Structure 1
Amino acid sequence: MGKIIDALQQALPLLGVAANVTAASTSNIFAVPDSAWKSLNDSVSGRLHLASPAGLPCFTSYESAWGLDANAPNAAQCQTVKSGLSTSLDIISRFGGYHNPTFSTCMRRGQKCTLTATEGIRNDTCFQGTVPDYYVDAQSVEDIQKSLQFAQQYKLPVTIKNTGHDYRGGSAGVNTFAIWTHNFAPDPVITENFTPDECPSPVGPVVTYHAGQIGTHLYNSLQGTGYMIVAGSCPSVGPSGGWVAGAGHGIFTPSFGLGVDNVQQMKVVLPNGTYVTANRCQNQDIFFALRGGGGGTFGVVTETTTKLHPDQEYSYAFVQLPVTDVRGANEVLVANAERWSEEGWGGVYGVLDVAGSPNLVWLGYNANLNLDEGKASLKPVTDYLEALPGSENLVSIFKTLPNQITAQNDPVLLSILLPEAGVSLTRSSRLVPKKNFQTADGQKALVDALMENKFGWGAVIASPTNYTLAESDQPGGPGESSVSPAWRDSIWHLTYTTTWDPADPVATTPEALASMFQEMSEAMDPIRAITPGAGAYQNEADVYEPDPIGSFWGEKNYARLLAIKKQLDPDNLLSCWNCIGWNVNDERHECYLNVRGIGPSN
C-alpha cells in the first residue's frame, strides 16, 4: 500500500461512506473524523497503518470493513508470504500474520484470506476477517500512550498484539484499533543487584526486556553470561506479553517457578494512557492483574524485569517407540507421574496418534538429577518399552546438556514446537491435580479417561512442583499473582490437540469448524469429571472451555480481577475472547462460532 500517509489519504475518504458499508457495526472506529486519524498518525511519527491480512498480495479482490474492491496482486510479495507460511519468525514479523491463521478469519461466515504453499495468485477474495482495521506500530512508550489516549477519546475497541502466537484469538478482533508492540524491542539489559522501584532492598540479578522481545532473542542475549531465565519454550513466544499474562510455563518451571513467580517489576501503560510501575511495593493490584489476569486486558506492558538464575548443566532424556498396547503405555506413564514430578522433570510426555500409529514419547529436562540419576528415574518406562515387540526401534537418548541455550535449541524440542507455526489447531487442556495420581483407583480413573479420547495426549510437565513460592507471593501477600491456584497442586498440564489446513475449503466451513471445536472440547469432559475444582492453562486452553472463570483464575481471583478491570477500564475498551469482564456479544467477537452454547448469539 506504499507509504502510510498515502494509504491513509486513499482510505480516509472511505470513512465517509463507512456508515453505509458497515451499517450493522457498533464500533466507533467508523465515526472517527478523518482529521483525527491524520493527527494521530502525525503524533506517532507516521506509524499508524491500515491493517490487512498477510495473504492479501495473493488475491485479486479484497473485502475490508469498507466494502469489496479489486486488488492488484503482487507475485513477488505473494511468494514472500507463502515462503514464510510455516516459519514462526516470519509470521510474527507481519502485523496481519497469525501463528494460528484460523483466528484471523471469520469462522462464523467462512470468510478467510489464508493460503497454501503450493498456490499462486488466486482469483478470489481476501476477507479482512478478524484482523483489526487500523494499527499503530508502537516503538515507544509515547506511541502507546498516544494510541490509548486516542482510543479513550473516541471510545474505540482496542486489540493488543505482540507476536500473534495465540491459540484462542486474543490478538485479533473485528472492527478494532490495534496496538502492535512487536517492534518495541531494544536489547535486554542485565542488572546484577536490582532494587525494584520504591522497594527497600535488592532482589539480586535480573534482566529487563521490552514488550516486543521474543524468547529466542532473549535466550541468545544471555548466552555466555552464566545466567538462565524462565521463559517460554517456543522461539517466537513473547515473554513480556500474553505468555506471562497467562502464567508463563516452560521446560524449567518445575524447578524455578512460573513466569509470574520470577517477575520482579513491570511497567505498563494503563487504558487511560497513564504510565506506571508495578511491583511488590507499589501498584500491587496492577502487579497482581498483569501476572495471570490474561493478556490484552489491563493495559499494554512495555517492560518486564525478571529474575535470573545461575546457569548449570541439565540432564536430558528422550525416549520414543511405537506402541500397540495404548492402555499399557498409559498405565506406566500415569503410575510414575507423581515421582517424576517430585524429581523435577520438565518437558512433555504422552501417547500420540492413538487412532493411527500410537507412539509413546518422553522428552524431559532436569536441573536436579545427574545423568545416572536421570536414567534411573526413567527406568520403569525404558524397561517397559524394551520388553515390547519391536523394541529394536526404541529411541533412547540420555545426555548432559551444558547450559540452558543448548536445552532451548534441542532439535527434538524444536521438532515438536516449530511445526505448529502457520497450522490451524485447537486444543483442550486440564491441570490434573496430584491427588488423581496418589491411589490405585485414582490412577485407573485417569487411565480410563485417557482411553476415551481419540486424539492422543500430551502431558506438559511444567507445574512448579519443585519450586517454593516466596512468602511475599503467597495468597494475600504483596506479590500474589492471579493465576489459577490449580497450578500449585497439579502434576500435568494435559493437552489434546487436532490440526487442519487453514486454507482447506472443506475443513474451514463454519459447520466443519464448529464440529471440530465441539469434538475437541467434549473430549476433555471425562478428565474434567474426575478433576472437579481443578483448572486449565488459559494460554493453551479449550476455546470453548465450559468454566473459564473457575478454570483460569478461580472465583476469588476473578472477583478481584474484575474489580481492577472496572477501575482501570470502565468502558471495557481493551478486551478479548474469555478475558476478564468480556461481553460475548461484543462485535469484536462476532466471527467466533457458537459451540456448546458458548459464543455470540447474533
Structure 2
Amino acid sequence: MAKRYIHCRLSEHGIVGAKLCLVVFLPPDSEERGSHIFVPGHQLCVVILHLPPLFQFSAMKPTISLSLATLGTILAHAQYPSALPDVAPAAAKLPADSTDAEVSLLEPETVQVTDEVIANLVDSNETAEYADLFAFADSTISTPAARKRDLLRRSSSCKTAPGDILWPSDLVWGIFDLLTGNALDDIVPLGSVCYPESEFENYDKAKCEEVMASWSKDALHYNDPGSAMFPIYSGMTCLPKANATASDTCTLGGYSKLSLEVRSVAQIQLAVNFARTLNLRLIIRNTGHDYNGRSIGKGALSLWTHNLKDIIYIKNYKDSYYSGPVFHVGAGVQGFELLQAGEKYGVSVTTGICPTVGIAGGYITGGGHSPLMQLFGMGADQVVSMNVVTASGRFITVTPKLNSDLYWAMLGGGGGTFGIVTSVVMKVHPKIPVTASVFNFTTSPTVSDVTFWKGVRAFWDEMPKYNAAKTYSFFQMMNMANVGVPGGGYAFNMVPFFATNKTVDEFNALTKPFFDTLKSLGIPYQIETKYYDSVYPAFQATFAPQDQAIGSTSGTPGNRMLPSKNWEEETLSNQTFDAIKHTVDNTIVTLMYHQMSQNPSQIINSVNPAFRTEGGMVVAVNGVNDLSPRGLADAGEKMTNVIMKPLRDATPNGGTYGNEADISEPGWQQSFWGTNYDRLVSIKKKWDPTGLFYVYRGVGSEGWVVEDGDRGVQTQDGKLCRV
C-alpha cells in the first residue's frame, strides 16, 4: 500500500490513532484540564501538542467549534509523515498436528494468532495502544479507548467508511500492514490505466491496450486482488476504453478500498478482529466469480484468499462420518487445479462447469452443481471437514461432529456469511470414463420454427431417461433475432452431453430415440462424440473452452430449478416447456441443464432442498442495452416479472441457485434456501452476532442495505447501512 502515515492520533480517547494530536481551536466555554481539553457536549478529551502544517491557521480565533465529524475528517485526510514503529508480524508457528481435525493443518494454517500473540502486543511498548484492535471477540482487554470505540461501533447505523470517525488513520493502517507481514495494498481498478485524469494517476496507453485485449478473459480478473468480473455492480467505473478524456469517470466506485493478500491464517484472524473492532466492511474474495457483485464493496477491507493453493492427497482418511480417499484443499484452489490433481492421482473430483471458479469459496458454500453430481452428489456433499476463521477471530475445525451447526450452515448457506474457509477436506472417487458429445441444430429454409421446437421437445421428453442413466448435459438455446442475426431463427447447441461411465455405443443407444426423432422431423444436425478414459480430458475438451461473458455489461442472469415431477404430469410438463420457449424468446441466450443429484442417504448440510428433487435447471441471460439507471431498471423489471415469472409459476416447488440468480429475485429466502432458511438465520446470529459478514441477498442480510442512490440496479457503490 502507499506508505503515508498520520502523526495525529487519538486512540486513548476512542478515536483510531495514537499519541500525538492536533492543536485544536476551541469554543470559549471549553475548560482546560492540564494537558487535555474537555469540549462540553462532545465527551471527548483532546491532547494538545501541535498542529501539522496542513492545518496551521494562525489568524483563526479560538471561537471555532469542533465537532466529532470535523475531527474525524481531519484525522481521515491529514497526511503527516511519521516513522512507523519497529513492529514484527503478529503470528505464532504451530505444529501441523495442532488441530481437532483428522488431517494435519496445511502450511498456511500453522501460522496463527493465539492468545499469547495478543498478550505480546499488549506488553510491547510499540504496539500496546493498538493491541485491542486485533484482539479476539472474547478478549478481556478493556481500556477507555476500547470501550469508547465499542460504543461508537454499537451506535453507528452504517459500516465505517473513509472519513468516518472510526476509520483508521494511515498510521494505523500501516501498523496493521506490518502486523500482517506487509500484505496490505490499495485496490486500483484494472481499467484505470486507460484514464489520463483519474484519481489513480497511473495512465499508461500500452497497459490500457493490454487490459482491453484481456478484459473478457477471467485470468485477468482472478489474478487481480480487487477486480469485478461483472462490472455493473461496481457502478461501471473505470471500464477500459481507448481515448478516454477528462470527462470520462474513473473512481474507486463500488470496488473495495484495500486488499489483504492472504497467505496465512494469522493474517485472516488479524483482519477479522481489526474489522470487527472498527466496524469496517469486510469482503471475502477468492477468484471474484460472482454474478451479483458480492466479492466487492465500497470502502471495504477485502481478504484475497486466492493464493492458498495447497492440494494434498490422503488415500486412507477415516472419521466417524466417512472412510476413504480425500483431497485436503486450500481455499484458493480452482476447479482446473483440482481436476489436474485428480488426473495425477487417478481419481475423480467434483467441480463446477467453469474451470476457474474457486472450489472452497462460493461454489461449495452455495451448494455447487457439477457434471458429476448424478454420480457423487453436490459439491457441498463432498466436504467431510473444513477449517474456518469465525467472526470472533478464532480458528476452528467444523465437521458433522465438531461445531456441527456451522458445518451444516456453511455447506449450502452461501459464501461470505458465516466464516472464512481456509481449507476443506473433500471426498474423491474412482476414476471414471466419459463419453462427451457436442451437437447442434437450427432453423433453416427447410426447418421451420415449429419444427425446431418439436426437436427441442423431443430432447425435453427424454430428459428423465437421461437423468435415470446418470448422465448430465449443458446446452444453449437462442432466438437469433435477439442477437441481431438477420432473418432471426433459432439455434440449439449442446455444449456437451456428458455421459459418465458410458461407452460411445452406450451413449448412442441412450440417445437414439432423440436423434431418430430429429431425422423423422427432417432436422439436420451436426454431432461429434468422443470417448475419454477419465474426467479431466473430457472436461478440457468441452466445458473449459466456453465463454463465460467475463467483463461484460451486456447481460444479467436469472435461473430456476425444475422439479423432476414437472415431467411426470402432461399438463405441468407442457406448462413448463412453454415457459422455456417464452424464456428463449425474451433473452439473448437461455442455458439449460439436465441434471439430478445423487443424494446422500443422510442430508447433513443446508443445500437448497430444491436441488434434491430437480431434474433440470434453466439459466436465462437478459440483454442489457441501456446502461442508464432507467435502462437498468427496465432490464431488471423484464428479467424478474417478464422472463422468469412463467418459470416460477410452473415450478412452485422449485428454487433458485443463489450463485447465478436474478439480482432482484423475489422471495429470495425461499428461492435460495427453502425450509432451511429460519435455521440458517439462527446459526448466523449465533456465530456472527455483530454482523461482521455481509453479502447481498445472503442469510441475515435483510437488515442491511447499500445506499448507492438511484442506479437502476443494486450496486456495491455506496455505504453499507442498517435498514
The answer to whether TM tops 0.5 is yes
1:593: how far off?
Answer: 3.7
Alpha-carbon separation, structure 1, partners of 2:708 and 2:582: 32
2:315 aligned to which of 170, 192, 203: 192
Counterpart for residue 469 of structure 2: 343
Offset of 1:351 from its aligned partner?
Answer: 2.6
Query: Partner residue of 1:245?
Result: 365
Alignment of 1:121-136 (within 5 A): 121-123=244-246, 124-136=248-260
- 1:52 matched to 2:175? The reply is no
1: distance between equivalents of 2:680 and 2:575? 34
Deviations 1:21-41 (A, max 9, x none): 9xx994313322323212111
Separation in structure 1 between the aligned mates of residue 371 and residue 346 of structure 2, nearest angstrom: 18
Answering whether residue 703 of structure 2 is matched by residue 573 of structure 1, we say: no
Q: Corresponding residue for 2:13? A: none
**2:531 counterpart residue number:** 400
| Shift in Å, 1:452 | 2.1
Give the corresponding residue for 1:206: 326
Equivalent residue for 1:112, pick from 214, 237, 241: 237
Q: Distance in 1 between matches of 2:703 and 2:644?
A: 22
Shift of residue 443, structure 1, vs aligned partner: 1.8
Q: Distance in 2 between matches of 1:99 and 1:268?
A: 26
Q: How does 1:25-174 map to 2 (within 5 A)?
A: 26-30=158-162, 31-34=166-169, 35-62=171-198, 69=199, 71-104=201-234, 106=235, 112-116=237-241, 119-123=242-246, 124-174=248-298
Alignment counterpart, residue 469 of structure 1, candidates 600, 609, 613: 600
C-alpha deviation, 1:398, in angstroms:
2.1
One-letter amino acid matched to 1:517:
G
**CA separation in 2, counterparts of 1:140 and 1:588?**
33
Cα deviation code 1:533-564 (max 9, x no counterpart): 31111111111111111111113x11111111
Determine the C-alpha separation between the residues in 1 that align with 2:237 and 2:596.
37
Shift of 1:517: 2.0
Task: Name the stretch that deviates more: 436-445 or 267-276.
Answer: 436-445
User: Which TM-score applies when normalising by structure 1?
Assistant: 0.86
Distance in 2 between residues matched to 1:19 and 1:165, nearest whole Å: 32
Q: 1:435-477, CA deviations, whole angstroms, 9 ceiling, x for partnerless residues? A: 110122122111222222222532223330xx24133xx2xxx
- Work out whether 1:234 is the aligned partner of 2:354: yes
What secondary structure, in the 3-state scheme, does the structure 1 residue paired with 2:345 have? coil
Instruction: Name the SS for the 1:163 alignment partner.
Output: coil
Q: Write the mapping of 1:444-593 to structure 2, written as runs, cut at 5 A.
A: 444-453=574-583, 454=585, 455=587, 456-464=589-597, 467-471=598-602, 474=603, 480-499=604-623, 507-522=626-641, 523-555=643-675, 557-583=676-702, 585-587=704-706, 593=712
Contact 1:429 1:524 in 2 (8 A): yes
Q: 2:407 corresponds to which residue?
A: 287
1:175 corresponding residue in structure 2: 299
Q: Which amino acid aligns with 1:568?
A: W
Return the alpha-carbon distance in structure 2 between the equivalents of residues 592 and 333 of structure 1. 41
Aligned to 1:28, the other structure's residue is in SS state coil
1:418 counterpart = 2:551: no
Question: Is residue 2:491 matched to residue 1:359?
Answer: yes
Q: Per-residue displacement from partner, 1:333-378 (whole Å, max 9, x unpaired)?
A: 2211211111111121353235433112232112243322211222
The Cα shift of 1:400 comes to 1.1
SS at match of 2:424: strand
Counterpart CA distance in 2 for 1:273 and 1:459 is: 41
Alpha-carbon separation, structure 2, partners of 1:291 and 1:70: 39
Matched-pair contact (CA < 8 Å) for 1:174–1:589 = no
Distance 1:178 1:161 in 2: 7
Q: 1:380 aligns with which of 500, 510, 513?
A: 513
Whole-angstrom distance in 2 between the partners of 1:591 and 1:206: 49
Q: Offset at 1:389? A: 4.8
Change (3 A) 1:450 1:418: closer
Alignment-mate amino acid for residue 628 of structure 2 = T
Letter in 2 for 1:321: F
Paired residue secondary structure (1:330): helix
Distance 1:245 1:90, change over 3 A: same
* SS, match of residue 553 in structure 1: helix
Question: CA offsets per residue over residues 158-208 of structure 1, 9 Å max, x none?
Answer: 11111111111111112222111112223x10000113xxx4476210011
Asked if structure 2 preserves the Cα contact closer than 8 Å seen for 1:174 and 1:591, the reply is no
Moved more, 281-290 or 170-179: 170-179
Consecutive unaligned residues of structure 1, counting only runs of 5 or more, are 63-68, 475-479, 501-505
Paired with 1:461 and 1:321, the residues of 2 have a C-alpha distance of 18
Q: Is 1:276–2:396 an aligned residue pair?
A: yes
Amino acid at match of 1:438: E
Q: Is the 2:369–2:378 Cα contact (8 Å) retained in structure 1?
A: yes
SS at match of 2:289: coil
Q: Percent identity?
A: 26
Instruction: Indicate how the Cα distance of structure 1 residues 9 and 52 shifts in structure 2: closer, same or farther if over 3 A, else same.
Output: farther
C-alpha distance 309-588 of structure 1, shift in aligned 2 (>3 A): farther
Partner of 2:567: 437
Higher relative contact order by CA 8 Å / sep ≥ 6: 1 or 2? Answer: 1
- Greater mean alpha carbon deviation, residues 274-283 or residues 395-404: 395-404
CA contact (8 A) 2:417 2:698 kept: yes
Q: CA deviation at 1:125?
A: 2.3
With normalisation by structure 2, the TM-score equals 0.72
Question: What is the distance in 2 between the residues matched to 1:592 and 1:161?
Answer: 24
SS at match of 2:232: helix
Count of residues paired in the alignment: 557
User: Hey, what does 1:219 align to over in structure 2?
Assistant: 339
Distance in 1 (CA, whole Å) between partners of 2:6 and 2:355 is 38
> SS state of the match for residue 701, structure 2?
coil
Residues 599 and 612, structure 2, Cα contact 8 Å, conserved in 1: no
- Answer with 1 or 2: which has the greater Rg: 2
How far, CA to CA, are the matches of 1:354 and 1:438 in structure 2? 31
Per the alignment, residue 334 of structure 1 pairs with: 460
Alignment-derived partner of residue 427 in structure 2: 307
The 1:308–1:559 alpha-carbon spacing in structure 2 relative to 1, beyond 3 Å, is same
CA shift, 1:5, in A, is: 4.4
State the alpha-carbon separation in 2 of the partners of residues 238 and 302 from structure 1: 12
Secondary structure of the equivalent of 2:329? strand
Following TM superposition, by how much is the alpha carbon of 1:483 offset from its aligned partner in structure 2, in angstroms?
1.4
Q: CA deviation at 1:490?
A: 0.5
Rounded to whole Å, the distance in 2 between the matches of 1:181 and 1:241 is: 9
Q: Which amino acid aligns with 2:3?
A: D
